[in-house]
Amino acid sequence: MCYENKHDYAHIGDCDYKNTPGKAPTDSYSYTGISYEIIITCDGGGASPGNGSVVTGPYDGNNPGGGFGNTITNNPCNKLKNSLSKNIIGTTPLKTTKGMLQILKENLPSVNPQIPGEIAYGMYQNASNELEPRFFEELDIAHNIEAELGFDVYPVFMHTHKASGLTIFSLADIFAIKDGIDNGNFNENTVFYLVTDNGTQYAMTITDLNSFNAWTNLYFAGWEFDNIKKLKEDEYEELINKKNNIDQNENGLARFFDTKFAGIQLFKSSPDFSTWQQLIYNPLTNKTTKTNCPN
């Protein structure tokens, strides 16, 4: 999952970025539950991306953007609950973040064959401090999409994985979060959601932005070089991969975050998005416990 100009959904969400602002036609998209204008750039690519530059808004580090207008509590469950209940204007009938997750689930390839690819919604904060949706979709069999995030702050970002992809967040998903934070599109109040065609639903929140930045700045140094990128991906795949079952990938990702001091909290949802559990890794037992968030 890439949050900037080029969105490559190649199974584990491999990303690259390209500065092609001139190639940004405005398309109208009518879709189950919502209809509005989107801006996409149309350039092929493939599962083996090249290098490029991000062209989202500048970020001076002093103003990380609003979390729905105010900084909300850093309690992970409260942050998630606050996010799920937010109204998304421009939807008919009016939907919340939770309702938009349901739209994602209803338009997975196994449910709606008319949308065979992976899709994403970014909920950006408008001038009135309300959340509006932007829709991004997979454009070709190589899983490529270019999506302009512009100068906006996105308190919510959600996307899907096909059944052929990972059952949980990919390493490139995490890199994309870092990149979005670096460019001011995401901040410590953004909640990231994933719905997969393998029957899993997850969310991630940032519990410690300083820890997250310190880890990602070091870990992803040299990511633009194929040999370094492959080393990182190989390490990740030792714990999280397509051969694992769902429980193994959950334990692997919770363990990965714990050992990296990543400042991330991972959540798992019930099928109807009504119950959410924190996934907390215990290094003494090498097991992950699931604790229900209060409703």
Q: What is the pLDDT of residues 24-75, one digit of tens each?
A: 223 333 334 433 333 222 222 222 222 222 222 222 233 333 333 334 456 8
Closest CA to 152 of 120, 176, 130: 130
Give the pLDDT of residue 162: 87
Give the pLDDT of residue 141: 52
Give the pLDDT of residue 178: 92
Residues in CB range of 45: below 8 A, 6 or more apart? 6, 8, 16, 142, 144
| Residues 45 and 141 sit within 8 Å (Cβ to Cβ) | no
| Residues 211 and 262 sit within 8 Å (Cβ to Cβ) | yes
Residue ranges of domains in the chain:
7-292
Give the pLDDT of residue 65: 35
Residues in CB range of 22: below 8 A, 6 or more apart? none
| Residues 17 and 110 sit within 8 Å (Cβ to Cβ) | no
Q: How far is CA 207 from CA 141, 172, 276, in A?
A: 36, 20, 17
d(CA 255, CA 281): 6
- Here the tokens at position 141 are 């069999």
* Average pLDDT over all residues of the chain: 77
Mean pLDDT by 10 residues, the chain (295 residues): 36 31 31 34 24 23 35 76 96 95 94 86 93 81 60 93 91 89 93 96 96 96 92 96 96 96 96 97 95 93
Other CB atoms within a 10 A radius of the CB of residue 98 amount to 17
Distance of alpha carbon 79 from its chain centroid, rounded?
16
Give the pLDDT of residue 43: 24
